[in-house]
Amino acid sequence: MRRVLWDYEPLRASHAEIFIDVAGDAVGLRGRVRTMPQKLIAAVLVERMAEVGVVSNDLIADPDVVRAVVDALAQDERTAPYVLRVDSRHGIVTLRGEVPNEATQQAAVDIALGVPLISSVRNQLTVGGEVHPAIALSRPSAKADEPDPEGATTVRA
């Protein structure tokens, strides 16, 4: 199995960290890869082997990590108002962007560190931007001033 995965050039070239667990004809893949296609192809390559019955693909792709960190930052009122760039390489997250103060910078780092998919955070945030208030966005259930089925009128402020 290692040879099959290693012979796939994109996995080898990206220095994918793949661990293989075998129990009978069941194979578990865990570790880190750079892209979602690499994650999917690694499982397919192993599934195609005659002696393999079932494959459990627990590989973590860098886009999974980025999405988890971005979601966590967007859900926190201290960091949600700011445009922060998040990059990941094998679970090492890099934060870039401008924040208004060190408290916001530290909050962003702490939030990222709280995401279970990451191994560490590189803080490349700069302090000096404007303070932005947290803004709650919600979708209205009906268009303004249109009656709902109950006969009430929805008005947006």
Taking CA atoms, 150 is separated from 116, 125, 138, 147, 153, in Å, by 45, 50, 21, 8, 9
Give the residue-averaged pLDDT of 109-135.
Answer: 88
Give the residue-averaged pLDDT of 114-125.
Answer: 94
Q: Annotate 51-116 with DSSP letters as a single string.
A: T--EEEEEEEEHHHHHHHHHHHHHHSTTTTTS-EEEEEETTEEEEEEEESSHHHHHHHHHHHHTST
Q: Is the pLDDT of residue 157 over 60?
A: no
**pTM of the predicted model as reported, rounded to 2 decimal places:** 0.75
Q: What is the pLDDT of residue 138?
A: 46
Mean predicted lDDT score pLDDT of the chain: 86
CA torsion sign, 101 to 102 to 105 to 111?
negative
Q: What is the pLDDT of residue 23?
A: 93
Give the residue-averaged pLDDT of 111-130.
Answer: 92
- What's 146's DSSP letter? P
Q: Is the pLDDT of residue 86 over 80?
A: yes
| Contact (CB, 8 A) for 100 and 127 | yes
Q: Is the pLDDT of residue 2 over 90?
A: no
Q: Is the pLDDT of residue 38 over 80?
A: yes
Name the residue with higher pLDDT: 52 or 157. 52
Helix-, strand-, coil-residue percentages of the chain, each rounded to 5 = 30, 30, 40
Strands 92-99 and 54-61: unpaired
